[in-house]
């Protein structure tokens, strides 16, 4: 007890538009293996997570958020944290994983605003339920 390694990480969370979103993301993170605590800030679009790096990885945390229907990006060059845990990052495989992840995140970000998939869904919804679009936009983005 008490010897478990701990690391904290702050992610940028994308796609949260209402208070329920915040809870969805928190629940997704808390139900991820290795996560000790997760706090999501809806206004700042940030998730602060404390986890055991031997069990959970930043990539797994991002994936958990994606599975919940949102997206997240790892903080850019987290220099101080990288130095504090240099033993983790000196391993070449870790760098490769991070690079792959960063490339994936970049591709995701590039693809999203164009969002042909979302656009099609949006139009179907507008046709089926026009009243949905009369509601204040803060009500829901459609994931609830």
* Residues found near ligand 9UX in the complex (CB under 6 A): 17-18, 20-21, 139-141, 143-144
Closer Cβ to ligand 9UX, 20 or 100, answer by number = 20
Q: Which is nearer to ligand 9UX, 65 or 74 (CB)?
A: 65
> Helix (H, G, I), strand (E, B), or coil: what is residue 129?
coil
Compute the least distance from the CB of residue 104 to ligand 9UX, in Å: 22
The Cα–Cα gap between 51 and 56 comes to: 7
Q: How far is the CB of 127 from ligand 9UX (least distance, A)?
A: 20
Instruction: Establish how many alpha carbons lie within 13 A of residue 32's alpha carbon, considering only the half-sphere containing its beta carbon.
Output: 30
Closest to ligand 9UX by CB, 20 vs 85, is: 20
CB of 1: closest distance to ligand 9UX in angstroms?
37
Short-list 46, 53, 52, CA closest to 72: 46
For the beta sheet containing 35-41, the strands, ordered from the edge strand earlier in sequence to the opposite edge, are: 35-41, 46-51, 7-14, 71-73
Q: To the nearest whole angstrom, how small is the minimum distance from the Cβ of residue 20 to ligand 9UX?
A: 3
Structure token digits, residue 46: 């940030």
């Amino acid at each position: 007890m008490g010897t478990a390694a701990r690391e904290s990480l702050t992610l940028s969370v994308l796609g949260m538009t209402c208070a329920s979103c915040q809870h969805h993301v928190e629940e997704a993170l808390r139900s991820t293996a290795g996560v000790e605590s997760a706090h999501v800030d809806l206004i700042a679009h940030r998730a602060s997570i404390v986890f055991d790096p031997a069990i959970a990885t930043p990539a797994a945390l991002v994936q958990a958020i994606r599975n919940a229907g949102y997206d997240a990006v790892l903080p850019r060059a987290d220099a101080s944290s990288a130095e504090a845990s240099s033993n983790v990052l000196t391993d070449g495989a870790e760098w490769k994983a991070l690079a792959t992840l960063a490339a994936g995140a970049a591709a995701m970000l590039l693809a999203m605003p164009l969002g042909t998939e979302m656009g099609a869904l949006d139009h179907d919804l507008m046709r089926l339920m026009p009243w949905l679009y009369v509601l204040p936009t803060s009500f829901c983005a459609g994931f609830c």
